[in-house]
Amino acid sequence: MKKDEKIPNQSQSQPGKQSKMHPKPEIIRKNYKGSEKLKGKIALITGGDSGIGRSVAVHFAREGAKIAIVYLEENKDAKTTKKLVEAEGSKCIIIAGDLKDADFCKKAVSQCVSEFGGLNIVVNNAAMQFAKDSFSEIDDAQLTETFETNIYSYFRITRAALNHLNEGDCIINTSSVTAYRGSDHLIDYSSTKGAIVSFTRSLSKNLASKKIRVNGIAPGPIWTPLIPATLNNVSDFGRDTPLGRPGQPSELGPAYVFLACEDSSYVTGQFIHVNGGEVVGG
């Protein structure tokens, strides 16, 4: 997306559908060359049907990984991701269900393991957000939904996955720039994203002796279905970043590849800030 390109206004309900977005997000750059960095690996990606998760799925597939994606209900988007992964010469299973349900988290991991025979890379990436201008509008129902989706699911998927991860395997968690700079209208959401930062740092220490690395990505404004599904006006989305534009999912995928592969073998407990130039701590 160019610096001055205006996004036409549009709105959807959650979960947003990539198939209904215009312009279409870029998933992977045409000139991205895979080099077998993830050959033979098996990756499970929550929220892998669309947006950042879809980009991660396609990049991982181009690098040789087999993919299991977990998503809420967006069957059309999930089937598209499956086709894109298969077009890379890889395999993809799609698993629909609600990650707020602890049993489903277990089932999603076992389905991946029984289909592919193991698990090496977990990408915790699913989320919801409900913008509220007034703090008092954040009721308990919203609090529960936001925390169960955005952080409890990361604990539950990880707990199930750890029965299968071994030395050299890794976990990557999607946080947000809002964890670092705060957000006046996404207080509960940004709180879960802050929890993901501490979760990542703490878990990395806990798993270091097993040589399982745990890192994260903190995206800035990225053109994904979450945006038209949750913001009233998207036409100026991302323009307030130093680079003056929103990011594309294609600009995230390579950072996940780095954290998933051996290139980052001496990196754990860290975040990469793919956010258009906002300088944040940590």
User: Applying CB under 6 A, does 127 fall inside the site for ligand NAD?
Assistant: yes
The residue assigned the tokens 């979450």 is: 226
Selected binder of ligand NAD within 90, 125, 146, 248 (CB under 6 A): 125
Instruction: Compose the 185-224 pattern: x for residues touching ligand NAD by CB under 6 A, - for all others.
Output: ----------------------------------x-xx-x
Q: Are 224 and 248 in contact (CB under 8 A)?
A: no
Task: Give the integer Cα–Cα distance in Å for 56 and 62.
Answer: 10
User: Applying CB under 5 A, does 63 fall inside the site for Mg ion?
Assistant: no
Task: Give the integer Cα–Cα distance in Å for 178 and 195.
Answer: 11
Query: With respect to ligand NAD, which residue has the nearer C-beta, 91 or 181?
Result: 181
The span of 13-21, 117-125, 155-163, 210-218 binding Mg ion (CB under 5 A) equals 13-21
Q: How far apart, in Å, are the Cα atoms of 248 and each of 82, 150, 221, 257?
A: 20, 21, 9, 16
Radius of gyration of the chain (CA): 17
Selected binder of Mg ion within 34, 43, 50, 112 (CB under 5 A): 50
End-to-end Cα spacing for the chain: 28
In the chain, where does DSSP find H-type helix?
51-62, 75-87, 102-116, 140-147, 153-161, 178-181, 187-207, 226-230, 253-260
Instruction: Compose the 135-174 pattern: x for residues touching ligand NAD by CB under 6 A, - for all others.
Output: --------------x------------------------x
Using DSSP's 3-state secondary structure scheme, residue 98 falls into: coil
> Can you read off the two tokens belonging to residue 15?
């979960």
Instruction: Compose the 205-234 pattern: x for residues touching Mg ion by CB under 5 A, - for all others.
Output: ------------------------------
Instruction: Compose the 34-73 pattern: x for residues touching ligand NAD by CB under 6 A, - for all others.
Output: -------------x-xxxxx-----------------xx-
Task: Give the integer Cα–Cα distance in Å for 27 and 99.
Answer: 24
Name the closest residue to Mg ion (Cβ): 50
| CA nearest neighbour of 270 among 217, 194, 230 | 217
Residues that bind ligand NAD (CB under 6 A): 15-16, 47, 49-53, 71-72, 74, 98-100, 125-128, 149, 174, 176, 219, 221-222, 224-227
Q: Which amino acids are annotated catalytic?
A: 189
